[in-house]
Amino acid sequence: MSLRSSRFSSQTAHPPRGLGARHSPRRWAIGGALLGGLLTGAIFAPAAWLAAGVQSATAGQVQLQEARGTVWNGSARLVLTGGKDSRDATTLPTRLSWTLRPGFGSASLTLQSDCCTSTPVLAQLTPGWNAMTLRVSDSALQLPADMLAGLGTPWNTVALQGQLRLSTSGLVLQYRAGRATSQGLTRLEALAVSSRLSPLKPLGSYRLDIQGGDNAQLHLSTLNGDLHLSGQGQWVGSRLHFNGEASASPEREAALSNLLNILGRRQGTRSIITFG
């Protein structure tokens, strides 16, 4: 009795050779199919996924509409809006194209639009634990000033016309533990701009410099024109504190009086602009 039990135990404890081998190819095939499916899904992820992410991250103020292609290589119409329930919206004249290339620990990003970039805008995106760093190569782009009206108040009231020129030098944007900081210089120039609030056209040309740091500094100056704008500001956390003033050339004070009343608090011929 013990001999037969011993033989039975020996047979059941060691399954015939080849049984595991017959199952291994099937397991490898299933695993390979799943991996292949994941890779295919990542490679051909539709551009609409990126559009949804941008809209969510900007609370709907920046939208990529009519997105085509993939997350890695696609194009869309760039639309600026005032956010949820806003009726204001403006669209870049030509489609915005992008290329996203993943690398070791980072990804390179290229942006281009026929209307607004003489050369592609290049950037490097580096993710981290609860952090993100974006390094932008020195670049410049031009936009129609009326694009700002899509952002709602106060831009829809001012209704600027003219050209905007945005340039960067050594720009690095960082997000870490819920706090955003920047390094380098961002310069926005508003060239030969006018507003529906004033019959005088153009009002002038202006420069806004943003110098990065723990508390980024802002400097507003007038390049030329009959409306003079100047001011200084500073970001403290996520809040901007700004003090400036607006005034008119003596011979244009009557033509610009209404606009000066809207821009700030009147003190004689000047309009004091403060917020934050």
Please give the pLDDT value at position 154.
Answer: 78
Higher local confidence (pLDDT), 64 or 58: 64
**Average pLDDT, whole number, for the chain?**
85
Buried b or exposed e, range 154-174, using 16+ CB within 10 angstroms: ebbebebbbebbbebeebbbb
Q: Do residues 196 and 254 touch, judged by C-beta distance below 8 A?
A: no
Tell me the CA end-to-end span of the chain in Å, nearest whole number: 94
Please give the pLDDT value at position 41.
Answer: 45
Which residues, including other chains, have CB under 8 Å from residue 92's CB and lie 6 or more apart? 77, 78, 79, 113, 115, 116, 143, 147
Comparing 28-42, 57-71, 184-198, the range with the smallest average pLDDT is 28-42
* Identity of residue 51: A
Euclidean distance between CA atoms 265 and 76, whole angstroms: 42
DSSP letter, residue 95? -
Please give the pLDDT value at position 18.
Answer: 52
Euclidean distance between CA atoms 108 and 9, whole angstroms: 62
**CA 234-127-178 angle, 5° bins:** 40
Condensed to tens digits (0 to 9), the pLDDT of residues 116-145 reads 999 999 999 998 887 889 999 999 999 999
Please give the pLDDT value at position 43.
Answer: 63
Give 26's pLDDT tier (boundaries 50, 70, 90). Answer: low
Handedness of CA 11, 12, 13, 15 (dihedral sign): positive
Q: Both tokens of residue 40?
A: 């295919």
Give 170's pLDDT tier (boundaries 50, 70, 90). Answer: very high
Condensed to tens digits (0 to 9), the pLDDT of residues 174-204 reads 888 777 788 999 999 999 999 988 999 999 9
Q: Do residues 194 and 161 touch, judged by C-beta distance below 8 A?
A: yes
Comparing 19-23, 103-107, 168-172, the range with the smallest average pLDDT is 19-23
Residue 55's Cα: distance from chain center in Å?
A: 10
C-alpha R_g of the chain: 29
